[in-house]
Structure 1
Amino acid sequence: MTGQDWTPAEPDTWVRDVNAGRVPLLAEEYGRPLDVADLLGEARATTGLDDFGDFDFGAPGGFEEPLRILVDSLEAEGRLNVLGRYEIRQQILRLLQVRLHIARYLRDDPGVLDEPVDAPLFVTGAPRTGTSILHALLAQDPANRVPESWEFLRPVPPPRPGGVDEDGADDPRIPLVNRELRLTAMIAPGFDAMHERGARMPKECISAQAIAFLSEDFPGKFRVPAYAAWLASCDMRPAYRAHKVVLQILQRRYPAGRRWVLKAPPHLGTLDALLDTYPDARVAVTHRDPLKVLGSLASLLATIHATHSDAVDAPELARTQVDFYAGVLSRYTALRRSDRVPAETFHDSHYADFLTDPIGTVGALYERFGRELTDEAKDAMSAYLAGRPRGKHGAHTYQLSDFRLDAAELRKEFADYSAYFAVPEEGGAA
């Protein structure tokens, strides 16, 4: 419903039963508070491993400091329901298990840290500006290597080309990750119309950075204002170091020559750390009318948060995103005005142009960075688009008024950014 304060769609009966405590086993297991020592112990017990490693190379306080801040914020501010506790507990356990497996893999194969990650291309921009579809199109080019969700979530052992195990069967991690990613769509009716997720789909870099427990993945899913404020002030280089180790592992069994193409909207706010880790990186930035961005983003995040909490303050969540991206876009605008980073590092494109001519938009990106867009790649991209028409999973509807946001005020707040990058206003209800 639009035109009033946002409310979540009515959940299925099984969701209401679980969150109301009418499934005693789940209520008892996941109703208890999160405890860092308990989580560390369970990760060790389930893997038989003990060393969580230091492959993010000197994060202040190690990975346990951000983990403790996250857990404290979840407990004090998260307003978690039973399913929310289940999901974050399973996510933290997976991340700890992955850390243990990575640490062991690096001991067994230390040469992986010598793997070169040359000239990666990062797709970024505010959320809902077309980063996902651009990333997915770039994945159709055989010359590119785009990480699939199952690879980022469970990177050890290094995957084999085609997503098969040693016997040639589908890698068992694929269905395992698919079950995890599809849970949100099972809980929230209509979620696929906003943001479809699956194990074989491209994945954002925040999932790899989460291994360091320094990631916007957590505020994107849960109400954790204390953690989010701490994250905004900390050094993000350890998160990018962990990210690079994951890439080095993922490419270990692949033939050389394919170029990494990566994506996450939060990269736009941490470009210094990104370019410190990947000095030869190229960055493709997408732009869209901020009013459309913020309305769509508020709707998406409110839906995700509502799968983890029965007390979502949608206007508060929306205002948080307005403030966050006002800062991010302002800093990016100032960076591009300066000569601190060479202009050839970046390519800017508009969502409106992508809608009109997606292949042409990709072609301009390739030309900017001196890459060849082959006929084979163009055909693959066109076939991908033909198989995924807009609205395939239904319409995503929202209005700014659902979140108590005023269009005129937002126009003023984002005026400098919009003018500098010549971002066109979009018609229709904001």
Structure 2
Amino acid sequence: MAFAKRGSGDALMRLFLEATAIYTRAWLGAFWGRQRAAAPLTPRRILLLLLFPLFMVVQLLHWLCLALDHVLFPAFRRQSIHRPVFVLGVPRSGTTFLHRALADDSAFTTTRTWELLFAPSLCQRYFIRGLIGLDKLMGAPIAHALRWLVKRGGRGLEAIHAIGLDAAEEDYLALLPAAGCFFASLAFPGSSSLAALGDFNTMSEGRRQRLMDHYHALMQRHVFAHGGRQLLSKNAAFASWGDALKERFPDATMILCIREPLRAVSSQVSSLQPARSLFATDPDGEDLPRLFRQYYERWFTDLARLASHRETLVIDQEWMAKEGDKVLDQIYLRLGRDRPENTGATATVSAPPHRHDPGHYDLQRESLDATLWEAYSVLSRQALLQR
């Protein structure tokens, strides 16, 4: 697709119809068929499904505003994204710490929670910025109420990482309207289309292209709204998207975070227990460990392939936890500029602690495929050599 047409009205309409079909199939399928085993129709589950049409109404509003951007702010489509930095890796490997540490650098712009959930479009952002200004004049009652709601609604999800409206957040959330956010698969475990988001290469070429075009246009909007600053992106769920991102942004710097596989899988499954409760899925607690064993095998393999690019830096979570300042110095050495004094000042090394034991999820070295360990060994050696 030509650069000038990326994210155009026709492309938006096609992606909107595609996403609507994916969500509708997932929603209807939740009432019968194979989803019933992974997500029985308990009272909580039924309530969630009955409220889902409201979610779809919100997504429709986002689509309308995204389309309106082409009328009100057409210049965003000419916005270049120069030398972006992508923090990828497997989930629970320190990506959040690294992302939020780098986000302290004012040379970067990165997406914030409120932008992703409430304002993926430019017209929504500018409108909300105006409301924020008015709210401040009145003592910020709306801001206080929203922070309370986010804190209450995210209770328990802090095990994944700290949540806040102004916090630097994973920009894959902006793909929710396009049914391109992997987190949605946790709500609908029977949807093959949503599950495929965890392994980008299993999707059709057309679907991959449409999602990448849309993601690119979303990031153009973001950079445009923030004065053309250097894009900083973090997505642990993009582990399998690395090759496509590198092809789309050839001058990007890729930072790959890794962690010892058994501890990483165990931590991920443990941190998703609140999501199981929220979506009323996986009642026996057996599906998530099995599912994420498979995902991690693919993700480590994909990351090992991506690590062959010269601009890629591999960071081991254990080293990051012990010597975070040295990790940041190494990253800025790779970026070719001095590290600002405040970088890393507001980040925390990890989310609030939660206990997890690989044995609790029947995880042993033998339960993970040999190709995963081979890929992890390749990445681990590269991380050591790059210190």
TM (normalized to structure 1)?
0.72
1:63 corresponding residue in structure 2: 16
2:360 corresponding residue in structure 1: 402
2:49 corresponding residue in structure 1: 85
1:240 corresponding residue in structure 2: 212
* Residues in 1 aligned to 2:238 and 2:326: alpha-carbon distance in whole angstroms: 24
Does residue 254 in structure 1 map to residue 207 in structure 2? no
2:241 corresponding residue in structure 1: 270
2:380 corresponding residue in structure 1: 422
State the Cα distance separating 1:336 from its structure 2 match. Answer: 3.7
Partner deviation per Cα, 1:356-378 (whole Å, 9 max, x = no partner): 11121011011112232123x34
Partner deviation per Cα, 1:144-178 (whole Å, 9 max, x = no partner): 11211111221332646x96658464599967875
2:168 corresponding residue in structure 1: 202
* Residues in 2 aligned to 1:57 and 1:128: alpha-carbon distance in whole angstroms: 38
Partner deviation per Cα, 1:223-269 (whole Å, 9 max, x = no partner): 2342235544224232232222223323334334x211111012220
Secondary structure of the residue that 2:189 maps to in structure 1?
coil
Runs of 5+ consecutive residues of structure 1 not aligned to the other structure: 1-52, 338-342, 425-430
Flag the 1:182–1:92 CA change in 2: closer, same or farther, 3 A.
farther
Q: Select the residue among 296, 308, 324 that pairs with 1:358.
A: 324
Contact 2:256 2:303 in 1 (8 A): no
State the Cα distance separating 1:102 from its structure 2 match. Answer: 1.2
Secondary structure of the residue that 1:141 maps to in structure 2?
coil
Partner deviation per Cα, 1:180-225 (whole Å, 9 max, x = no partner): 7545434xxx432442222111111211222322221211444234
**Which amino acid counterpart does residue 177 of structure 2 have in structure 1?**
I
2:74 corresponding residue in structure 1: 110
Does residue 72 in structure 1 map to residue 36 in structure 2? no
CA RMSD of the aligned region, Å?
3.3
**Which amino acid counterpart does residue 215 of structure 1 have in structure 2?**
C
Contact 2:88 2:257 in 1 (8 A): yes
Identity %: 18
- Pick which of 271-280 and 58-67 moved more: 58-67
Contact 1:281 1:345 in 2 (8 A): yes
1:20 corresponding residue in structure 2: none
1:321 corresponding residue in structure 2: 292
**Which amino acid counterpart does residue 120 of structure 2 have in structure 1?**
P
Secondary structure of the residue that 1:292 maps to in structure 2?
helix
Secondary structure of the residue that 1:261 maps to in structure 2?
strand
**Which amino acid counterpart does residue 185 of structure 1 have in structure 2?**
G
Secondary structure of the residue that 1:260 maps to in structure 2?
strand
Flag the 1:64–1:275 CA change in 2: closer, same or farther, 3 A.
same
Q: What is the 5 A alignment of 1:358-397? A: 358-375=324-341, 377-378=342-343, 381-382=344-345, 384-385=346-347, 388=348, 393=352, 395-397=353-355
Q: Select the residue among 174, 182, 185 that pairs with 2:154.
A: 185
* Residues in 1 aligned to 2:284 and 2:8: alpha-carbon distance in whole angstroms: 37
* Residues in 2 aligned to 1:158 and 1:249: alpha-carbon distance in whole angstroms: 11
Flag the 1:335–1:136 CA change in 2: closer, same or farther, 3 A.
closer
**Which amino acid counterpart does residue 227 of structure 1 have in structure 2?**
S
Secondary structure of the residue that 2:165 maps to in structure 1?
coil
**Which amino acid counterpart does residue 372 of structure 1 have in structure 2?**
D
Runs of 5+ consecutive residues of structure 2 not aligned to the other structure: 1-5, 30-34, 383-387
Partner deviation per Cα, 1:330-373 (whole Å, 9 max, x = no partner): 13323445xxxxx2221111111111111210110111122321
Q: Select the residue among 57, 60, 83 that pairs with 1:96.
A: 60
Contact 2:182 2:237 in 1 (8 A): yes
Contact 1:302 1:317 in 2 (8 A): no
Contact 1:223 1:305 in 2 (8 A): no
1:24 corresponding residue in structure 2: none
* Residues in 2 aligned to 1:174 and 1:236: alpha-carbon distance in whole angstroms: 37
Greater helix content: 2
* Residues in 2 aligned to 1:323 and 1:126: alpha-carbon distance in whole angstroms: 12
Partner deviation per Cα, 1:38-97 (whole Å, 9 max, x = no partner): xxxxxxxxxxxxxxx964874895332243223322432254614533664444332221
Secondary structure of the residue that 1:270 maps to in structure 2?
helix
Secondary structure of the residue that 1:421 maps to in structure 2?
helix
Q: What is the 5 A alignment of 1:301-340? A: 301-309=272-280, 311-336=282-307
Count residues in correspondence.
Answer: 355
* Residues in 1 aligned to 2:165 and 2:116: alpha-carbon distance in whole angstroms: 10
